[in-house]
A and B are shown apart, each in its own frame.
Chain A
Amino acid sequence: MKNLLEVEQLQVSYGKIAALNGISLYIEPGEIVAMIGANGAGKTTLINTISGILQPQKGSIKFKDELISALPAWKIARKRVVQIPEGRRVFPKLTVMENMELGAFPEKDGKMVKAGMEKMYAFFPVLKERKNQPAGTLSGGEQQMLAIARGLMAKPELLMIDEPSMGLSPVLVEKVFQIIKEINKQGITILLVEQNAKKSLQIAARAYVLETGNIVLSDTAGKLLGNELIKKAYLGEH
């Protein structure tokens, strides 16, 4: 197995509206791969299709050489292909601790769950302070921390993060990107979906550029940072 994830000729549509027009990409073990693109480009659609929430019309998704595109979402999650959804989407009425426990739902050994939780509390001390609070009462930044912690509780092999910086203050954005780098250093492969191209390219090894359902560019992150088109369209430089 060379690639952890292999997506080939993926076509996805909502009814008659096409959202992905046969895109292909791969992710090698240990990489951070960024998927950048404007609002409506199809980034969330891609992640949701990999997660099994959406069914592709055509094409295939392989994880560790196994075809997963026909599996239901809950089975894909149990293969440790984990998504941190856009807009955080924690369970607002459940407590912080319960949200984290649910991240590790497939793990039946309570001790393992506890150990994982302690690790997360060390990583995000604010979650420990708030552990018995309903998640809906947390601030946006805290909810993002919780969403990340909940995703990590699943012990992901591939972690897909959908717009983690959305709606966060610049300081928090900085922190979230630091955390993503840190997670990756611990051996977790990451697919990072972002509109914030600059920040993503700074931490990614490679990146794809998605425009209205098509991959229009793909290269190492360093090269894309120097690319004139990218500078103009995504980095706000002239």
Chain B
Amino acid sequence: MFIEQVINGLTLGSIYALFALGYTMVYGILRMINFAHSEIFMVGAYIGFWVLSSLPVFLPGFLPAYFLAVFILAMLGAGLLAVVVERIAYKPLRHASRLAPLISAIGVSIFLQNLIMLTAGASSRPYPEKLPLEQFNFFGAQVSSLQIFIFGLAVLLMFILTLFISRTRLGKAMRATAENHIVAQLMGINVNTVISLTFIIGGGLGGIAGVLNGLYYGSVKYNMGFLPGIKAFTAAVLGGIGNLKGAMAGGFILGIVEAFAAGYISSENKDIFAFVILILVLLFKPAGLFGEEVPEKI
């Protein structure tokens, strides 16, 4: 039971962590909470759903390439949608009060939910099962091939992201922009490009999280982003919003807490724990676990 919950927690945590990165990256660059990110996740899940249900697997041996295509399309679609949302709904408000883009984001969120509800239907749809499912025994606990896949993909993506942000020229430009837009421009950095890149990456990871969520729970629905969105946002706040490693750690912590709550306390009320954590963090450690600043000497 214990190991089983750890495995469930890591699986959930993988999804929350990938999802949380989008909240934290956008916050880091624009100091804004992108409430529409939960709908980017949902649209990503739908892109995966459409590709999986319309595109046949040509040959059994093509399965890895097939899934690679599914994830790349979901990632690109979600990433591009995130950029378009930024250009239309946030960029014109960049110098307005902080509340304005927040309200705009909520508007985008409602719009995207309704758009998908009207075009794809209001009811839940089953997610195509094209991954061969196998169960393994791991120290007496059951672990499925899907769980291993979700965890492995999430860790791989987080590893690549970490390398990109810490090592590459553009990654450094992103961190510089997060610290100070004006000084970043003085370095010859086009801040608008960096912001777009942030939305592409954050949105793309959110889209992949959406597909993984669809595969794991076996369904998609127009409002599927709402609850996981609050949990991923909680994960970002828990880790210290704006901090990438914090979002990753926060996602896994939240996944494990939820899995244990579901397993040992009550599976019906498992969703409450994210809210409890969110409130506790905001009350007692609003900077989050990793949110401390480097002291600035003058």
Contacts and interface: CB of A to CB of B under 8 A. Distances in A.
Interface of A: 51-53, 72-75, 77-78, 82-83, 85, 89, 91-94, 98, 101-103, 105-106, 108, 134, 136-140, 143, 150, 154, 167
B185 A77 contact: yes
Interface of B: 169, 172-173, 175-176, 179-180, 182-191, 293-298
A94 B179 contact: yes
26 contacts: A51-B186, A53-B186, A72-B190, A74-B187, A74-B189, A74-B190, A77-B187, A77-B188, A78-B188, A85-B186, A89-B183, A92-B179, A92-B296, A93-B175, A93-B179, A93-B293, A94-B172, A94-B179, A102-B172, A102-B176, A105-B189, A106-B188, A136-B297, A137-B297, A139-B297, A140-B298
A73 B185 contact: yes
A94 B297 contact: no
Given A91-B179, A94-B179, A108-B169, A136 B294 contact: yes
B187 A102 contact: yes
Contact of B172 (A51, A98, A138): A98
Contacts of A75: 188
A154 B187 CA distance: 8
A102 B294 contact: no
Contact of B185 (A74, A92, A94): A74
A78 B187 CA distance: 8
A93 B293 CA distance: 8
Given A89-B180, A136-B296, A94 B188 contact: no
A106 B183 CA distance: 14
A73 B180 CA distance: 14
B173 A102 contact: yes
A190 B261 CA distance: 65
Given A91-B176, A94-B172, A98-B172, A105 B294 contact: no
B175 A105 contact: no
Contacts of A89: 180, 183
Contacts of B183: 85, 89, 91
A106 B256 CA distance: 44
B176 A138 contact: no
B186 A83 contact: yes
A153 B183 CA distance: 15
Given A134-B294, A137-B294, A137-B295, A74 B176 contact: no
Given A91-B176, A101-B172, 9 more contacts: A53-B186, A72-B190, A73-B185, A89-B183, A92-B296, A102-B189, A103-B187, A134-B294, A137-B295
Contacts of B187: 74, 77, 102-103, 105, 150, 154
A167 B298 CA distance: 8
Contacts of B186: 51, 53, 73, 77, 82-83, 85
Nearest to B170: A105
Given A83-B186, A106-B188, A154-B188, A91 B175 contact: yes
A94 B176 contact: yes
Given A91-B180, A94-B176, A105 B185 contact: no
B252 to A, nearest CB: 24
B188 A136 contact: no
Contacts of A74: 185, 187-191
Q: Which 5 A-B pairs have the closest CB atoms?
A: A73-B185, A77-B188, A106-B188, A136-B294, A78-B188
Contacts of B296: 92, 136
A94 B191 contact: no
